[in-house]
Structure 1
């Protein structure tokens, strides 16, 4: 799917396709990764493969409250490391990295944020837009709950 540069879909209305591929990259979005061994966690949010460099990133995104930011990061690493090992073997990759992207529900900044952005070569401003969307969604949930009281 090619999106023209003059088209703009608001992030909350955007529906990504499950697989996008060109000569250099393959991107899976929230679909199971088939492996030789049955794995408990085989549906990360994003799997990005650079075919030329034989590098794959297993990316999982989580929104957490302040008390569990570091715990959530470690949980994601533990959940997807077996998948990363399987991908490296099956897809004959040079390197496979698990990158948990953890966002604070009320705009907390986890210590791991900068590392994740650097590994993915994401401009720092992008994180601000993502975090803004999280905070707006959190506010929306709180409003719904308060309106039902």
Structure 2
């Protein structure tokens, strides 16, 4: 069996807050172990002894580690986490909660940034089927409709797909 991937997210000092935020949004989630900074390496990491270094958490079966590594690195759009949704209700739920406190100007075509700067794609599963349809004209109409959306609207995408 292949070794599973674990995703490590680098935060300045918000790792524990972020883990609690994410696990409150995803129904099938849990918090895990916390490691703390000690005196060892303090001259390099500069963190107070006892402060959170890492916290493990799981979202829908995917394992994450959140690291308080300092302000040196920040998230950008080069990587995003995709949430594949079965219904508009799911799209609405994840969009509402993950975008809360994030920059509204960073919302386009199903993409958003959360309050920590992490990029997410909230994607209806049916969109991937529409985009891979053998009828190029249908998939292009869906693409054109999607380009004008922030949060994806399954009914509007379906109308574009079904257009004669």
Say whether the fold is shared (TM-score over 0.5): no
Please identify the structure whose Cα radius of gyration is greater. Answer: 2
TM-score, normalised via structure 1 length? 0.29
Query: Could you say which structure has the higher strand fraction?
Result: 2
